[in-house]
Amino acid sequence: MDTHAIPRIRDFDDPDYDPFNAMGTLGGEYRIRDCYPELARLRHLSPVFDGDIRVHFGLYPDLTMQHLRHFAVLGHAEAMAVLADSRTFSNKVYENNLGVYFGRSVTTMDGQAHFDNRRLFQKAFNPKMVEEWGKDMIPRMIHRLIDGFAGDGKAELVSQFTLHFPFHFIHELMALPEEDRAIFHKLAFGQIGIIFDHEHGMDAITKLKEYLTAIVHHRRVHPLSDSDLISNLAQLSGPGGELEDDIVIAFFRQLMNAGGDTSYHGFSSVLAALLTHPDQLEAVRRDRSLVPQALEEGLRWNAPVPGISRTPTREIEIAGVTMRPGDHVLVMLGAANRDERAFPAPDRFDIFRKPTGHMPFGHGRHICIGQHLARMEMTVALNALLDRLPGLRADPDLPAPEVVGFALRGPHEVHVRFDPA
């Protein structure tokens, strides 16, 4: 590749800024621990909460939407109905934030535009491609990380493993130059911080746009290979292409957060659940056919992205609450996945529960494009940890993992011990 045509990626202007720790110090987000009792109390009063649920929990309002009237859908049946009705409940509300941060993302689209563009992106994540990645690229990324601590007898699996493997895979899939990957990961993670810290967040967003625009334009002229996602999508965009250039660039700007963060937070929470339920961890260790059930139950028990947004296109009443066009409707997947009307004893983690009806990746036409990839990554990762770390267990000398957060949920630390290989 002619790297001289591509400017090196630029780091944050502030060299001391650490986005991986910033959210815990800048916002109250990660002080929210067990939010489910209060969500259940509110759901029992009404499956639709009239107000800004974030403010109710003592968090910052979403400044991009503070001028809107807010509702939160807490019931499972109501959440399914909202997400299934894309004519009545539009994604255009994301133009207030994702559209500003990432550009013309497919997430902000509705109707035929959404269908046409999503169809093209889905070609890159079809089951055949995901299966191929699961045979080689994903295991390679995962085992490379485990190699770094497999002989130690102990590890902190968030900082040493789960924070990295989904992003390393994306870096590989995009064929990013090795020397750019650490800064790329740092900037991509820093984008999330715009909610708490506008200056650093915008710095990250601006620099990622600059870099990705240069990469896409370069690979349109100098494609690398059939397995390079940027080259593939770049050929579909630009003059004469099916995808418009700014849509492709917006896709890559959002990919690290939409793809990486979901797997990172989701898998960390699955590990936390299994390690704090050692009898179920042992069952999975002995019978690997239980791995898919364990993953699904972990994602139900703590959805990595607890809420997704919609706005009505017409006046509509749900559970006696009237919503109007332009209102912000936050569909609380985390609350819906703990609704006792859909899941008996919903607060109990139980890998033997029949995994149906939960919504860790949304529902309807806008369901996560990369959901199959995320499941593949987590399946490979859990099997690899159980294979490579005999006797994997929670470290008895350190605090047990605790899932925290509201906009994103996951544990800060997962301390484990195992028998060194």
Looking at residue 354, the DSSP 8-state letter turns out to be: -
Tokens of 407: 């906009």
Cross-strand pairs, 49: 72
Rounded to 5 degrees, what are φ and ψ at 36?
A: -70, -35
| Residue 196 confidence (pLDDT) above 80 | no
Q: Calculate ∠ Cα 178-252-268, nearest 5°.
A: 75
Using one digit for the tens of pLDDT, what is the confidence trace for 381-395?
A: 999 999 999 999 999
| Residue 1 confidence (pLDDT) above 50 | no
Tell me the pLDDT of the chain averaged across its residues. Answer: 90
Helices vs. strands in the chain: H and E counts, helices first? 19, 12
Cα–Cα distance between 396 and 176 in angstroms, integer? Answer: 40
Cα–Cα distance between 391 and 403 in angstroms, integer? Answer: 23
Cross-strand pairs, 321: 318
pTM of the model: 0.92
Distances, alpha carbon 312 to alpha carbons 49, 86, 89, 347, in Å: 16, 9, 5, 31
Looking at residue 64, the DSSP 8-state letter turns out to be: G
Using one digit for the tens of pLDDT, what is the confidence trace for 233-286?
A: 888 776 666 778 888 888 888 887 777 888 899 999 999 999 999 999 999 999
Using one digit for the tens of pLDDT, what is the confidence trace for 350-381?
A: 999 987 899 999 999 999 888 888 999 999 99
Can you tell me whether residue 417 is helix, strand or coil? Answer: strand
